[in-house]
């Protein structure tokens, strides 16, 4: 198989020579794992498939497919890794032509499939197609399938420039699944074109036990739909199969529903997080012309995508399950670990684990990055979060060493922080909080007095700094920034040394002058600077920690 594939790849046209070289090199150097040796899908495929949003309706047509390719480029999907623009069932006529070949529906695809594939390729993307390992595809209209036409269809797909084949399981005439899918594998290899091979066998014959050297990915379940309950059911079925996934061979829990409207944004973030930590293919199943900005932001989360696309290629494993709360851990190629805390309950839950439990190994400290809120903190081992109903908190965990501040007096804005959370926008260093992107604030100003150093925050906020029992005192001037007019804004500033409150401003409004806060940090491991909303809303709660200093040594 390996020698035949390399020879076939060498015959590709010069326009694809760079692909040939890369693929052939991968095949030659790949470890002798049980995976289809075509050098493809070394990370889970990412892209689009129309089925979940169109099924066989009329809006599935040439224009839609080309629009998706355009949006991949214009909205940044290509930049974060989405690559395949795939079409599903109903693209063909219901009968083969006189030569026995499949033909595209002239209404849906008036300029043919090769025209669309060429357009997709012109955008620097890849094109995928669908058929079934039976006499007909799954739609009741009866489109012809590939059974006993494997080489004919594979040759046709290759001539059109197809890069990905989804091969379904309908009308299979009872022919053994291994036989049907292996025959198409060999037909694709014989074309000499690198084509990712997706086995859509629905998990009926436990393909995870035999398909590693047949396909690049295999469906582990029946079809998904746009409901939270179905998404969770499929997640539960796919999660225990981690041992079978590896580079070039992936468990496939079906396509994404993000943006189709049947789940909440929180549930869609869980859907995306769970698929990513399970190293699942990320194939968008929504019409990107209609997806809300919030759900589009979910699809573009590069930190979560990086977990899915990690080149180590290990599917995350369940570490614990208690009261419908899941902890799932996935090792990453640089030594980090990803951990997902999934709350499959109808109320907020606190979900906890430890660095030891997720398997990262011993360290004096660990860095945690929340891949959705983007906040960071350090821990000596505890990993915990308050997770909303049907929500998922996802961390990237790395080993770190915490060192206390050196002897002397330090501005808190000049130090590294353990945590920094904020009601609006990021915590700003030496600027007020402008609510949106970093750096959009102004000079810190409280009741007409300006300050060059400090923190601009927005309630509710917390900043923590590791002290390591090396510091003795804290001081700061605090108040609501003048960018909030008049008496708007109501906040309370609080200072904690570990769990002990050492200073409290009481309720402050925008009409008040700065207050001086100070307290002892003797023997404290951590300083925490907290701003609450003063008991009302967080409107206008732009709060300044002016000249917050610690004395150490």
Q: Count other C-beta atoms under 10 Å from residue 58's C-beta.
A: 9
The one catalytic residue in 118, 223, 233, 303 is: 223
Q: Report d(CA 278, CA 335) in Å as an integer.
A: 18
Segment among 285-299, 424-438, 451-465 with least mean pLDDT: 424-438
Segment among 8-17, 36-45, 173-182, 242-251 with least mean pLDDT: 8-17
* Reported confidence tier of residue 30, pLDDT bands at 50, 70, 90: very low
* Reported confidence tier of residue 29, pLDDT bands at 50, 70, 90: very low
Q: Which of 215, 214, 263, 210 is nearest to 235 (CA)?
A: 263
Share of the chain above pLDDT 90, in %: 82
Residue 348 burial (C-beta neighbours within 10 Å; 0-12, 13-18, 19+): exposed
Mean pLDDT (whole number) for 432-454 = 86
Q: What is the pLDDT of residues 295-329, one digit of tens each?
A: 999 999 999 999 999 999 999 999 999 999 999 99
Q: Count other C-beta atoms under 10 Å from residue 83's C-beta.
A: 18
Q: Is residue 122 pLDDT above 80, yes or no? A: yes
**If you average pLDDT over every residue of the chain, what do you get?**
91
* 346, two tokens: 């109808």
CA 122 to the chain's CA centroid: 26
Share of the chain above pLDDT 70, in %: 92
Q: What is the pLDDT of residues 40-92, one digit of tens each?
A: 999 999 999 999 999 999 999 999 999 999 999 999 999 999 999 999 999 99
Tell me: do 158 and 174 sit in the same domain.
yes
Is residue 24 in a domain?
A: no
Is residue 488 in a domain?
A: yes
* 126, two tokens: 């890849």
Tell me: do 294 and 335 sit in the same domain.
no
Tell me: do 471 and 538 sit in the same domain.
yes
* Reported confidence tier of residue 27, pLDDT bands at 50, 70, 90: very low
Tell me: do 331 and 300 sit in the same domain.
no
Residue 375's SS3 state is coil
Tell me: do 109 and 238 sit in the same domain.
yes
* Helix ranges (DSSP H) in 169-227: 177-191
pLDDT of res. 436:
63
Where among 250, 276, 309 does a domain terminate? Answer: 309
Is residue 25 in a domain?
A: no
Q: What is the pLDDT of residues 336-387, one digit of tens each?
A: 999 999 999 999 999 999 999 999 988 889 999 999 999 999 999 999 999 9
The crossing angle, in degrees rounded to 10, of helices 265-277 and 228-238 is: 10
- Each residue of 151-167: b (16+ CB within 10 Å) or e? bbbbbbbbebbbbbbbb
168 is catalytic: yes
Q: Count other C-beta atoms under 10 Å from residue 68's C-beta.
A: 25
Tell me: do 359 and 419 sit in the same domain.
no
Sheet of strand 126-132: strand arrangement: 250-252, 217-219, 196-199, 164-168, 126-132, 84-86, 46-49, 282-284
Is residue 34 in a domain?
A: no
* Reported confidence tier of residue 437, pLDDT bands at 50, 70, 90: low
The one catalytic residue in 88, 168, 481, 541 is: 168
Q: Is residue 124 pLDDT above 80, yes or no? A: yes
Mean pLDDT (whole number) for 122-133 = 98
Q: What is the pLDDT of residues 218-255, one digit of tens each?
A: 999 999 999 999 999 999 999 999 999 999 999 999 99
Regarding predicted confidence, which is higher, 267 or 499? Answer: 267
Q: Which of 46, 47, 140 is nearest to 85 (CA)?
A: 47
Are 327 and 357 in contact by the 8 Å Cβ rule? The answer is yes
Q: Report d(CA 513, CA 406) in Å as an integer.
A: 32
Q: Is the dihedral of CA 104, 110, 113, 116 positive or negative?
A: negative
Regarding predicted confidence, which is higher, 508 or 535? Answer: 508
Residue carrying structure tokens 């007019």: 485
* Reported confidence tier of residue 19, pLDDT bands at 50, 70, 90: very low
Where among 341, 369, 398 does a domain terminate? Answer: 398
Tell me: do 60 and 180 sit in the same domain.
yes
Q: Report d(CA 106, CA 91) in Å as an integer.
A: 9
Is residue 64 in a domain?
A: yes
Give the domain range for residue 378: 317-398
Are 23 and 39 in contact by the 8 Å Cβ rule? The answer is yes
Q: What residues contact residue 261 under an 8 Å CB cut-off, 6+ apart?
A: 226
Pairing status of strand 349-354 against strand 337-343: unpaired
Q: Is residue 9 pLDDT above 70, yes or no? A: no
Q: Is residue 501 pLDDT above 90, yes or no? A: yes
Mean pLDDT (whole number) for 111-121 = 98
Pairing status of strand 250-252 against strand 282-284: unpaired
Q: What is the pLDDT of residues 53-63, one digit of tens each?
A: 999 999 999 99
Tell me: do 338 and 415 sit in the same domain.
no
Q: Report d(CA 444, CA 439) in Å as an integer.
A: 12
Is residue 89 in a domain?
A: yes
Are 472 and 407 in contact by the 8 Å Cβ rule? The answer is no
Are 304 and 276 in contact by the 8 Å Cβ rule? The answer is yes
Q: Which of 276, 281, 285 is nearest to 316 (CA)?
A: 276
DSSP type of residue 443: -
Q: Report d(CA 158, CA 177) in Å as an integer.
A: 23
Tell me: do 453 and 393 sit in the same domain.
no
pLDDT of res. 18:
28
Q: Report d(CA 50, CA 60) in Å as an integer.
A: 7
Tell me: do 463 and 526 sit in the same domain.
yes
The CATH number for 342's domain is: 2.60.40.1180
* 265, two tokens: 């944004």
Are 23 and 53 in contact by the 8 Å Cβ rule? The answer is no
481 is catalytic: no
Are 216 and 198 in contact by the 8 Å Cβ rule? The answer is yes
Mean pLDDT (whole number) for 172-192 = 98
Are 4 and 189 in contact by the 8 Å Cβ rule? The answer is yes
CA-CA-CA-CA torsion for 17, 22, 23, 27, nearest 10 degrees?
140
Residue 303 — left, alpha, or beta (φ > 0 → left; ψ -120 to 50 → alpha)? alpha
CA 192 to the chain's CA centroid: 33
pLDDT of res. 150:
98
* 314, two tokens: 């290990």
Instruction: Specify the length of the chain in residues.
Output: 553
Is residue 171 in a domain?
A: yes
Are 476 and 547 in contact by the 8 Å Cβ rule? The answer is yes
Q: pTM higher than 0.75 for the full model?
A: no
Segment among 27-31, 146-150, 188-192, 454-458 with least mean pLDDT: 27-31
* Helix ranges (DSSP H) in 391-486: none
* Reported confidence tier of residue 435, pLDDT bands at 50, 70, 90: low
Structurally, how many domains does the chain consist of?
3
pLDDT of res. 536:
79
- Count, in order, helices (H) and strands (E) of the chain: 12, 29
Q: Is residue 485 pLDDT above 70, yes or no? A: no
Tell me: do 293 and 394 sit in the same domain.
no
The CATH number for 188's domain is: 3.20.20.70
* Helix ranges (DSSP H) in 206-321: 228-238, 265-277, 293-299, 302-308
Where among 277, 309, 341 does a domain terminate? Answer: 309
Tell me: do 528 and 394 sit in the same domain.
no
Is residue 20 in a domain?
A: no
Q: Report d(CA 548, CA 414) in Å as an integer.
A: 10
């Amino acid at each position: 198989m390996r020698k035949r594939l390399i020879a076939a790849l060498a015959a590709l046209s010069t326009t694809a020579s760079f692909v040939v070289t890369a693929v052939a090199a991968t095949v030659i150097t790949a470890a002798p794992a049980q995976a289809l040796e075509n050098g493809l899908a070394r990370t889970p495929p990412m892209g689009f498939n129309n089925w979940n949003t169109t099924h066989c309706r009329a809006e599935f047509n040439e224009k839609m497919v080309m629009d998706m390719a355009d949006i991949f480029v214009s909205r940044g999907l290509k930049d974060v890794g989405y690559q395949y623009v795939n079409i599903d069932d109903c693209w063909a006529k219901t009968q083969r032509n006189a030569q026995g070949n499949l033909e595209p529906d002239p209404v849906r695809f008036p300029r043919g499939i090769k025209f669309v594939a060429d357009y997709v390729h012109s955008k620097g993307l890849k094109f995928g197609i669908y058929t079934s390992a039976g006499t007909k595809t799954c739609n009741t209209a009866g489109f012809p399938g590939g059974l006993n036409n494997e080489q004919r269809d594979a040759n046709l797909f290759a001539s059109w420039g197809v890069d990905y084949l989804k091969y379904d399981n309908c009308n299979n005439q009872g022919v053994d699944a291994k036989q049907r899918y292996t025959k198409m594998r060999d037909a694709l290899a014989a074309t000499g074109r690198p084509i990712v091979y997706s086995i859509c066998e629905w998990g009926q014959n436990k393909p995870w036990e035999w398909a590693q050297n047949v396909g690049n990915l295999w469906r582990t379940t029946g079809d998904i739909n746009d409901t939270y309950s179905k998404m969770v059911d499929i997640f539960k079925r796919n999660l225990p199969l981690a041992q079978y996934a590896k580079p070039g061979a992936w468990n496939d829990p079906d396509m994404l529903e993000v943006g189709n409207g049947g789940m909440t944004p929180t549930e869609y973030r869980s859907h995306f997080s769970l698929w990513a930590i399970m190293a699942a293919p990320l194939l968008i199943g929504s019409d990107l012309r209609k997806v809300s900005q919030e759900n589009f932001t979910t699809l573009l989360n590069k930190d979560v995508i990086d977990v899915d696309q990690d080149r180590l290629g290990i599917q995350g494993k369940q570490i614990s399950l208690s009261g419908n709360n899941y902890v799932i851990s996935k090792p990453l190629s640089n030594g980090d670990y990803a951990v997902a805390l999934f709350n499959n309950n109808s109320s907020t839950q606190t979900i906890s684990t430890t660095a030891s439990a997720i398997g990262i190994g011993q360290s004096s400290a660990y860095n945690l990055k929340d891949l959705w809120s983007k906040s960071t903190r350090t821990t000596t081992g505890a990993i915990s979060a308050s997770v909303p109903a049907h929500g998922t908190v996802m961390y990237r965990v790395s080993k770190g060493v915490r060192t206390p501040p050196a002897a002397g007096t330090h501005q808190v804005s000049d130090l590294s922080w353990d945590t920094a959370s904020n009601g609006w926008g990021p915590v700003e260093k030496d600027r007020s909080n402008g609510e949106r992107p970093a750096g959009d604030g102004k000079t810190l100003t409280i009741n007409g007095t300006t300050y060059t150093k400090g923190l601009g925050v927005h309630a509710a906020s917390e900043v923590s700094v590791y002290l390591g029992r090396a510091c003795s005192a804290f001081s700061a001037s605090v108040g609501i920034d003048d960018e909030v007019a008049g008496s708007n804004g109501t906040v309370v500033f609080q200072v904690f040394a570990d769990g002990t409150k050492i200073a409290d401003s009481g309720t402050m409004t925008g009409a008040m002058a700065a207050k001086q806060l100070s307290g002892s940090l003797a023997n404290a491991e951590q300083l925490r600077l907290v701003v609450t909303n003063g008991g009302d809303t967080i409107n206008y709660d732009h709060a300044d920690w002016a000249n917050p200093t610690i004395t150490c040594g």
